[in-house]
Amino acid sequence: MKTQYGIINENQLDAYMSKLIGRVFKIIPMNEEQVSTLEAYVDSLLRELMGNSKLFLGEELLSVCGTLKGLDYSDHRLLKSDVFKAIELIEKARERVK
């Protein structure tokens, strides 16, 4: 895949998306353990996703950003549902770029 910064091969992109899924999933145990840096972690992840969505991954990652930005840290059931929704969107993006 060609970007403004050069070519990203399919293996690199697949590896990135796999790691991204793990990083998004990590939100669930961080919330369960009431990790004090959870919001900072999600904000950092959002900044990365916004940059990458502009580069090569399009509308799915913009939807992931919206979902993560709207996380309700006080409702674990809803947070867990939203995290799995975000992971599903990442998997759709991953399939689209293969």
Helix 76-96 to helix 10-25 angle, to the nearest 10 degrees?
180
- Which tokens is 17 given? 């998306």
Tokens of residue 44, six digits: 């950092």
| C-beta of residue 91 within 8 angstroms of C-beta of residue 3 | no
Sign of CA dihedral 23, 29, 32, 35: negative
Summarised one tens digit per residue, pLDDT across range 18-72 is 999 999 999 999 999 999 999 999 999 999 988 887 676 678 888 999 999 999 9
What pLDDT, on the 0 to 100 scale, is given for residue 59? 81
Which one-letter amino acid corresponds to residue 69?
K
Prediction pTM value: 0.87
